[in-house]
Each structure stands twice: as structure tokens, then as C-alpha cells.
Amino acid sequence: MSGVWADAASSETPVLTRTDGRHPPQSLRCPRTLKRTWRRGMARFRRGRLPSMIATFSDGRRFQIDAGDLLYEQIYRLGEYEPEVTQAVRELLRPGDFAVDLGANHGWYTVVMAHAVGATGQVWAIEPGAAMTASLKVNLELNPGLPVTVHNVAVGDAAGEVLLHHFSDLPHGHASTSTLGRDDFDTEPVPCLRLDDLLGEAVRPPTLIKMDVEGSELVALRGAAAVIEAKRSIWIVEVNHQTSAAFGYAPTELLDRFCADYAFYRIAAGGLLPEQDRAAAPHGTMWLCVPPALDERLDGLVVA
């Protein structure tokens, strides 16, 4: 594959160690030639069929997810998770930066961000659910010394309390403040803050905010008007037609929340593509929203 993400596309196979101390079966190692086959078959994997393991990467990062999670399949079987987005985060951040992982989940991007900003930087991992926060903290313990602060809150357009809905057939990382039109869920009350208020406690604006909050992105952006208006932060926002529909909006409305002078890109296999038709962005697209002050961070990353 050509393009600025070429290195991401050929990611390494991590060293795997079972958490029970036994050797991982070699069948878990997947050659690149079989990756497409694995992707097609991921939906067939069932919770608990594989052992819990720790993946150790060549840059020293260590990561653990219990079996049964989609991230587990991508990291352990394929040796990667969202390689283009992961590489974009690395390229956009510099030592000393401040980054925010909004919807940190197990902490994959939190750890990547922390390695990118280094000891002089700072990362805030924002994750409301108790189960996900516990998993996030396990991964931070596996990577001691990282400049990460965990905020165990949801982010919305008003301070208060919201209900997270945990669905019977989905991992906790897919918990949502919407019922998604379903009735097979348990609820967890969690505190909620506006991002403007939360970041008001920071000593400087973040360079990068990655947001993945299972459909409540529009609500979160409504509570971040001051951050957006400041034009000091690059945003990564996911296009999810299913969860956005459950909240009653179309993904294009997310970009409408940004000031007119933001530039929009799709994170694609070859690099960053200028967004030409936001309404046609397919499910799973990751948008990059860039204010003029940070245009220089894109040098060498945009492809025609």
C-alpha cells in the first residue's frame, strides 16, 4: 500500500503472553495475507473462546483486553487496531502536547497518545462506565509512568447525571446513553459534565480531541461550544449512522457544530482526504476537523 499510512498498514505482530502464564496458541498469530479473511470472520467469534492475553509491541506499549471484545480480535489476531487512525494520532501529536481521549474505552488511544506526547505532555482519558474504567486502568498499570489523568465521567450538554445502557449482547465498550431502541439492557448512573467545564480546569487547550461516545457525539459537541470556538484543537469524530439515528440526528450535523473556517478530512488508507461530500461519508468514517491555527500539523499528510 502506498501513502503516508503505509507503515500502519503493515503493522507488526505483537508478542503475546497469556495472563494465566501459559503459552498462547500459535494459531492466534495471523499472517498479513489472511487478515481480510479474519476480518470477514470476526462476527463469528464468541465471548470467552480465546484466553485473556497481554500484547507487547516493539515500542514498549503493552495492552490487555479480555476475550469477547472486537478490539481483542483486531489486536491479538491481526496485530493492529484502526491502523490508519492510530497512525494519524501519532503523526498529529508532538512531545509536550495535551490530548484528550473522549470515550477512552480500554485505553488503546490513551496509551498511543501518551507515548506520542511523552513525559512533558499530558493526556486526559474520559470514560464514564465502571467496567471500561477498570479495563482502562489495567492498561495504564501495564504502561507505568505515562502522563495520563482518568476522568470517570460522561460528557454532555449539561452537568448532572445520565444513565449508561449496557446491552446484553454487546461488550461494555458499546454502552450508550440511548436505549438504541432496545429493551435488553441494564443501566448504570454516571456523572455528566460539559466538556467546556471539564476543560476549564486544564492549564491549556488540547491539541487533539478524539471523540467516540456511542452516538452522543452531538450532545457532547453542544457542551463544547467554547472549545470549538477557541479554534485551538483538532477533533477526530466518528461517523456512525446507527447510533446517531438512535439519538435523532444525521452524522453531517456533527460538522455543522464547527465554525466555518475549520477544514474537514477523512482519515483514509493513504492519508488524509479533503472531505468533498460529507453526506456521502460511509459508516465508520473518521473525520478530522482542523482549525486554521493547526493547519501546519497536516504537512505531508494530505493526499489528493
Same domain for 136 and 72, yes or no, is: no
Tens digits of per-residue pLDDT, 221-233? 999 999 999 999 9
* pLDDT for 275: 97
Distances (CA, A) of 52 to 23, 72, 228: 11, 9, 40
Residue range 70-92: average pLDDT? 83
**Distance from C-alpha of 169 to C-alpha of 98, rounded to nearest angstrom:** 35
Greater pLDDT, 57 or 96: 96
- Split at pLDDT 50, 70, 90, the class of 244 is confident
Q: Which of 67-81, 82-96, 199-213, 258-272 is predicted least confidently?
A: 67-81
pLDDT at 179: 62
Residue 245: inside a domain, yes or no? yes
- 115 with 19, same domain: the answer is no
Sheet hosting strand 53-56, strand order edge to edge = 15-18, 53-56, 62-65
CATH number at residue 202: 3.40.50.150
Of the two residues 168 and 156, the one the predictor is more confident about is: 156
The mean pLDDT of 133-155, rounded to a whole number, is 95
Average pLDDT for 95-117: 96
The pLDDT-based confidence of 87 (bands split at 50, 70, 90) is very high
Residue 296 has pLDDT above 90, yes or no: yes
Checking if the pLDDT of 277 tops 80, the result is: yes
Comparing 87 with 201, which gets the higher pLDDT?
87
pLDDT at 247: 82
Out of 136-140, 243-247, 250-254, least confident range: 243-247
70 and 87 together in one domain: no
Percent of the chain having pLDDT more than 70? 78
Q: What percent of the chain shows pLDDT beyond 90?
A: 54
Residue finishing a domain among 78, 98, 119:
78
Q: In the prediction, which pLDDT does 85 show? A: 94
Domain end residue (candidates: 31, 54, 78): 78
Q: Which residues are CB-contacts of 252 (< 8 A; sequence separation ≥ 6)?
A: 278, 279, 281
Determine, yes or no, domain membership for 286.
Answer: yes
In this predicted structure, what is the pLDDT of residue 74? 76
Range 77-91 average pLDDT: 87
Contacts of 239 (CB under 8 A, 6+ apart): 251, 281, 282, 283, 284, 285, 286, 287
What confidence score (pLDDT) does residue 172 get? Answer: 53
Residue 159, pLDDT score: 94
74 lies in the same domain as 101:
no
Q: Would you state the pLDDT for residue 295?
A: 96
Say if residue 60's pLDDT is above 60.
yes
CA–CA separation, 215 vs 269, rounded Å? Answer: 24
- Predicted local distance difference test score (pLDDT) of residue 171: 59
* Mean pLDDT of the region 108-125: 97
pLDDT average, residue stretch 96-120: 96
Q: Is 303 within the bounds of a domain?
A: no
Residue 146 · residue 111 · CB < 8 Å: yes
Query: Beta strands 98-102 and 208-211: pairing type?
Result: parallel
Boundaries of domain holding 20: 6-78
Which among 78, 112, 134 is the end of a domain?
Answer: 78
Say which residue the cell 459534565 belongs to.
193
CA atoms within a 13 Å half-sphere pointing along the CA-CB vector of 190: 25
Is 90 or 52 the better-scoring residue by pLDDT? 90
Total number of domains in the chain? 2
Residue 62 shares a structural domain with residue 170? no
pLDDT tops 50 at residue 38: no
Res 27: pLDDT: 40
